[in-house]
A and B are shown apart, each in its own frame.
Chain A
């Protein structure tokens, strides 16, 4: 067997003057990077095993460790960059599909970074959110065509802030991670999503704030599951891997996951690429109405799709099929595991998808029939407020929520060795995420972003998020081409009425 040609991606710099040899790093690293060399009595590292999760850096009591990027450099070549070369080397060694976690990290244009926000000056007053009421309350669901007093309106989800936690299943993430998000969402008055892995018994107290998913694998779906939740979401696709299914390896299916997913423990949980009962909008309509019948039309039923080429007509079909909300997941949307080539190359950016879907639904006069939820790589409150101004009703955050719990985007979710106790089912690792700590951190993120949104709204002279939805006049593009501006439906910076 020849020596492996795979190079390390990171270099561990240990400041020996600061290292007190407490061995916390040795004990904590699940990739066995650090070890105590008893002969020289120093702590050493295997750089090639490091995945760059930064856990040791965080745990080191004297800040003696720094993880640095150590990309193997090849001769300067603008076409053949180091990453592509080493991917080929890796594949010629293993013969397998390259896997990745989280969302696409490719250098596509970040449209959010090319959009700026408006503020009030002279002609209209800005509002100080610390002195005056500012409304972030958001309603998700079908709105009536006409307002008629005393007429019952269709079921709505009521959000205190237009931010929800996106679908991350028990199995792909740990129960402690789900607990943290569920508690934070319940406390803040927003919603979390069970993902397609069923609803664990420990999460039943938070079910009033849960959106349950019905995905192609139908894991954990039963009458109680559907009836107990606040809303139901049919998952057709997700941003990280449009068009392909899911595969939870049998090693991750322990006793608890097996009970929750209703599958034998140790077996692979395979979610097929398509729903085997949905091959058209008409089929989707049948499922939507089957779920509505089950819940006696008391809960909103939505559909989640990945943003792809024809997202606008597809969304229009979904709305016409009776969905109360449509979730659109952009190319930056994350995952627990996906082939890298799919994650990086399939789908379209969420900014364009929101704009074209909102525009299409308005043109067809059916925008009020469904709420539009955007998902996929929201990095800050400004991304969220821009998404809402482009036409989204609310957003889902997944990666950002996990970062609040500790995630450092090492993209190794699929290995089940997450040092932060998030994307793993190993009891030695899941206990590293104390849900009481996680709850506080996720709650703080919701609070901080909501405060920032209020500040930005106030600056625009708007006192309710409802008034910003689809209000593209508040946005201006910078460095965007004519077609991009047209698709986004915004003017270029400098243009006025």
Chain B
């Protein structure tokens, strides 16, 4: 399957990946509208790591043996046919066990609605995910692994 590969050596820490992730998952899909007027703006599915001069953007690794899908009581976290780990908000009961077991800590909790707030879906409907396409330094790429 296709996976997002991080090249932290060339991540410059601009965090534009987060901006484009939020924009793509918003209602309007327009960057200015999303950030200036949209209510309930989605949260980015990227965890940005930074220490010293090392920075990188971490997305769901879509693990082969995804612990989040095992831990989920209601199958809200599930794998689709192409092995992409997806999230169904309607089924989620907010136990946050997925957050507990994720080895990368990339699932973010929605404290207000007691659900899962964001989870990378490899941008359904796009050939190249928004973060990859808009990285100014090609520090993230999507590759068939």
Contact = CB atoms under 8 A, between A and B. Distances in A.
A369 B28 CA distance: 68
A20 B15 contact: no
Given A59-B136, A437-B138, A431 B10 contact: yes
Given A28-B14, A62-B32, A22 B19 contact: yes
Contacts of B53: 427-428, 431
B13 A27 contact: yes
A341 interface: no
Contact of B137 (A18, A20, A428, A434): A434
Nearest 7 interchain pairs by C-beta:
A20-B35, A434-B10, A428-B53, A432-B12, A427-B53, A434-B137, A24-B14
Given A17-B36, A20-B35, A62-B32, 9 more contacts: A20-B19, A24-B19, A59-B14, A428-B13, A428-B53, A432-B10, A432-B12, A433-B137, A434-B7
A61 B131 CA distance: 12
Contacts of A61: 16, 19-20, 31, 134
B102 interface: no
Contacts, number: 58
Interface in B1-17: 7, 9-16
B139 interface: yes
B15 A24 contact: yes
A179 to B, nearest CB: 12
B10 to A, nearest CB: 4
Give the most central of B15, B34, B137: most A CB within 10 Å.
B137
B20 A437 contact: no
A434 B139 contact: yes
A84 to B, nearest CB: 38
A434 B137 CA distance: 6
A21 B35 contact: yes
Interface string B15-30: 1100110000000000
A297 interface: no
A436 interface: yes
Contacts of B31: 20, 61-62
B12 A28 contact: yes
8 contacts: A20-B34, A22-B16, A27-B14, A58-B136, A59-B16, A61-B16, A421-B12, A431-B53
Contacts of B19: 20, 22, 24, 61
Nearest to B20: A61
Interface in A426-448: 427-428, 431-434, 436-437
Contacts of A436: 138
Interface string A12-25: 00000110111110
A427 B13 CA distance: 12
Interface in B58-75: none
B26 to A, nearest CB: 12
A419 B15 CA distance: 16
A22 B20 CA distance: 11
Contacts of A59: 14, 16, 136
